[in-house]
Amino acid sequence: MLFAPLSPRFSGWCVAAAAAFVLFVQLGTPALWDDDEPKNAACSLAMLDANDWVVPTFNGGLRIEKPPLVNWLQIAGFTLCGRNETGARIGSALLTLGTCLLTWRIGRELLGPMVGLWSGLAMATCVWTAVGGRAATPDAPLVFFTTLALYLFARGALSSAAAAQNPDLSTGKIFELPLASSLGIGIACGAAVLTKGPVGIVLPLAAFGLFACWRWCATVTPWPTALQRLPGQLYRLFIPAGIILATVLLVAGPWYAWVGLRTDGMWLHGFFFVHNVGRFAGTMEGHSGSLFYYPTVIGVGLFPWSIVLAAMLGHGVLILCGNRQSSGTQSSASDGRKVPLQLMACWAIAWVGAFSCAGTKLPGYVWPAYPALAVGIGLFLDDWASGTLYSGRFGSVATRVAGVVMRIAWSILALTGLAIAIGLPVAASCVAADAQWLGLCGLIPIGAAIVAWRFQSTGHPTRALGTLAGCACLLVTLLAAVGAERFSRSTGARALLVGLGQPAKDCHWGCFWNIPPSLVFYAGSGITKIDTPAGIAQHLTASPQARVVIDSRHETLVEPGIPAGYGVLSRTKTLGTQQLVLIGPLPGRPLRTPLVWNTPPH
């Protein structure tokens, strides 16, 4: 039968195939997007050219934004695939594939093989995996290493005995974390700290601590007994936490100490106080948002699986509140889903809660919470498909309600497809007119919604979910691979340099005010920052190979500084409303020919 239950081994291959399709199709075809991708890639090339794996630099200056693990991955990628977009992104794609498989393993080992399958597919084929997993940024390594830490914790703390049947969980012994698990978590978190700093250890430990407190409050009564056992419990918790922290220091500490010595503490000060404390305490670079920012981001990032996000949350709350009795004689505490779901909830709360309180907000900050959310989605979908949402007095009612909820979900999927069919051509008309046909992608979720509705009506819920998975895989791949390539074909620095007529690295480059990071990568050489209109004339006349790139909003400001015989060689759009303008000597034009500006000032 189509989409029938798969063997655990084949389920893993199914998740891997879906993730590979989403992540590797035309991976290196779209241009690097400003600002983070080319900044990371240019920094990696600078470290490679200088044979310096310690101090990150960008355009000749110290780069304090990120630790170097993503640069090390990109150096390996450039060595294997060349100094191009594929080399910059291959490390992120491979690690994201690993994250999807870890999500599958977490769901399979804690909640069953079909939960693992749907969890892995949800993680592999959601929008943000297609975006972040194909990007040359530190987000993909961070998500992989933190998810690895979650997996090792789940195996060490819960898998030694099925959590629901473990008598220790009902007698005050929260969990045992073996030494090997503690060391493995420490290594994974140490790599995460080398990827993005303290967040790689602080939030995983916060999630594990929250889970321990939850288990303590749920299992230990009465209070005198709890207080009597508290010292022993603290010992059990502090010992593995200490091992984890010590391992993190051994893994990440040497590089931090080394870069501090090499830069006289400048890198450490800038990274910790500006890009950690500063970003948390206030808004940087205009990236702000309300408390509803991340719920909205997650709704978009988990699409199309987010059509059941609200149902998943309600389903999880009912399980955690103990509203299900698995048999007429067993208590709700025996529900084997409860303890694993507590761990997933603590993991998601730690990441989403922490960054909701931060002053600076970006969509990728909460991506590490997606594996836990995907497991929750996988659990709900498996319970719905198997008809075992709830038993007992309200079981039949809950099943009927879930059926209505899924029909609402298919309707949301169809409406979203309609929005894509209408909105994407409108957006393309502003940036890349030849990409308007991408609106046809909206037909995929519309068709999938119709087919899934039909499967549900005929009593084949597993086939309906298989239809959703196929829709997700095809839709996000088309948008991330084909759509991104179409949009980047006529935008950004790479498109600006296409008609240059000579190798970009042979030119002497300058930029007025702001330097686009993508220009640093694609020019292949250092970019001189020009602060005044008079500096433009000095730069252009200093060398026959001199070129200047400006933002179109500054055209009227710099026009008086352009020497006679120089003008606009090419211009290209950005994803915003402005353009990048390339200025250089006009071929075949007399030196005293006045400069003609083709675009009115913005």
Q: What is the pLDDT of residues 81-109, one digit of tens each?
A: 999 999 999 999 999 999 999 999 999 99
Are 417 and 498 in a shared domain? no
pLDDT in tens, 301-313: 999 999 999 999 9
Q: Tell me the pairing of strands 566-573 and 57-58.
A: unpaired
Indicate if 381 and 512 belong to the same structural domain.
no
What is the pLDDT, as a whole number, of residue 17?
A: 96
Asked if 402 and 519 sit in the same domain, the reply is no
Q: Same domain, yes or no, for 411 and 522?
A: no
Q: Are residues 373 and 503 in the same domain?
A: no
426: enclosing H helix or E strand: helix 395-431
Strand partners, 510: 528, 548
Regarding whether 217 and 94 lie in a shared domain, the answer is yes
- Kindly report the CATH number assigned to the domain that includes residue 529: 3.40.190
Same-domain status, 63 and 145: yes
Q: What are the pLDDT digits (tens) for 405-446?
A: 999 999 999 999 999 999 988 887 777 777 788 889 999 999
Q: What are phi and psi of 577, to 5 degrees?
A: -90, -10
207 belongs to a structural domain: yes
Q: Identify residue 458 by its one-letter amino acid code.
A: T
Report the pLDDT value the prediction gives residue 167, as an integer from 0 to 100: 40
In a domain, 351, yes or no: yes
Neighbours of 138 (CB within 10 A): 26
Q: Is 240 inside any structural domain?
A: yes
Query: If DSSP codes are grouped into helix, strand and coil, which group holds residue 578?
Result: coil
Tally of CA atoms within 13 A in the half-sphere of 522 that contains its CB: 22
Q: Which of 421, 451, 471 is the last residue of a domain?
A: 421
Q: How confident is the model at residue 381 (pLDDT cuts 50, 70, 90)?
A: very high
Q: Tell me which DSSP letter residue 599 carries.
A: S
Decide if 177 is inside a domain: yes
Q: Which of 394, 421, 448 is the last residue of a domain?
A: 421
What DSSP state is assigned to residue 530? E
Q: Do 150 and 35 fall within a single domain?
A: yes
Most confident of the following: 142-146, 479-483, 488-492: 142-146
pLDDT at position 594 is: 38
| pLDDT of amino acid 42 | 96
Residue 194 has pLDDT above 50, yes or no: yes
Same domain assignment for residues 98 and 188: yes
The residue among 367, 391, 421 that closes a domain is 421
What's the total number of domains in the chain?
2
58, 518 Cβ separation under 8 angstroms? no
Q: Is residue 533 part of a domain?
A: yes
What's the whole-number mean pLDDT along residues 36-41? 94
In this structure, is residue 460 part of a structural domain?
A: no
Distance CA 574, CA 551 (A): 10
| 398 and 499 part of one domain | no
Residue 432 lies in a domain: no
**Domain presence at residue 436:** no
Domain of residue 553 covers: 493-585
Based on the fold, state whether residues 499 and 387 are members of the same structural domain: no
Residues 127, 22: contact at Cβ < 8 Å?
no
Q: Is residue 555 within 8 Å of residue 597, measured between CB atoms? A: yes
Q: Are residues 515 and 400 in the same domain?
A: no
